Structure formats: structure tokens, C-alpha cells
Amino acid sequence: MARGSRRVHILSLSVLYQNIAIGQLIRLPIQWKQEFWKETYGYSFLVAIKADGQDLNLLVDTGASDLFFISKEWLEESEGLGACEAPVYGCYQCTTDLCDARVTDITFYDDSCASIVPLTGNLTIGEQEVPEVKFGLVQEYSRSMAPHASLGLAPQPEEDEE
């Protein structure tokens, strides 16, 4: 078993995600994995996906409803070249001018926030290809903790539903 990584065999994440796959059950293997960022570390439940063909790991977050990834350009600009090698989440390399669009802020329960650019792309979740999924790309992060990528499983607040 690799240091800091432990596969959880008895758990699978079963998701009926309204804006990802209507009426389809998707089972995802999850991992309990140690993450390091600067001087801190912790453990998280992670799920592997592909976004526009790029391998990413997402924090399984039952306290938020947002789906977002870490921007490679932002992280390497703020932390230096190679910064995307450090987090367990990986980074999303944006290939369109839409990544320079207006940012939206997401506020978490601890009052920290992430500034994201809303994008649409194709995801591979488990073995399922899902086209035209809306997600955010983190452009700034307010916490002293590590920035993260998120698979938000909480229901959307009523004011966010469209």
C-alpha cells in the first residue's frame, strides 16, 4: 500500500446528480487519501474523474453543492511552476478564452471563499461520459488551508436552483 493512500473497498459513492446524469445511477470508487500542502496535511475522501480528458481527484463534499476544479494557470501563478504536482486533486488546464471570464464567489460554511469562473465541459465519471456539465474553475482561494477541487453532493440552496 502506498504511503498516504488507502483504497476504500467497502464504500462506493452512488450519485444521482441532477445536472450531471438525469435518471442514471453512477457508482464511483472513493479513496481515503492523505494530502499535503505546505506545512499542513489532512485526510480526505476523493473520487477520480476526467474533465475534458484531464485526470483529476475531487473532494467528496456533502456540505456544498458546487462542482469545481483547481486552475493550473492560477495555482502555478500564485505558488510557482510545478505547484500542480503537490495537491492530490490535480489541476485543470484551461484551453479556452472563457477562463478569463467574470468570476463568481463561493462562500463555504467556515466563511472562507473561492473565486471561480463558470465553465462547461465533458466529464468522465466512473465509466460514464457526461457531456456539457457546468463546473467552476478556481481562480483564487481565501483560506490558508490548501485549495481543493470539489464534488459537491449537498442539495442546491433554493435561491441557486434554476
**What does the alpha-carbon distance between residue 27 and residue 72 come to, in Å, rounded to a whole number?**
28
Number of domains present in the structure of the chain: 1
Three-class secondary structure of residue 160 per DSSP: helix
Looking up residue 109, the CATH number of its domain turns out to be 2.40.70.10
- For residue 37, the surrounding DSSP H or E stretch is strand 26-37
Contact (Cβ atoms closer than 8 angstroms) between residue 136 and residue 66: yes
- Provide the pLDDT for residue 22: 55
**What does the alpha-carbon distance between residue 139 and residue 102 come to, in Å, rounded to a whole number?**
10
pTM: 0.77
Q: Which three cell numbers stand for residue 59?
A: 473532494
Task: Show the domain range for 48.
Answer: 5-160
Three-class secondary structure of residue 19 per DSSP: coil
Q: What is the DSSP letter of 81?
A: T
Q: Which amino acid is at 128?
A: Q
Tens digit of pLDDT per residue, the chain (162 long)? 444 444 443 333 434 344 444 567 778 888 888 776 666 667 889 999 999 999 999 999 988 889 999 999 999 998 889 888 877 899 999 988 777 788 888 887 778 888 999 999 999 988 889 999 999 999 988 866 678 899 999 888 777 555
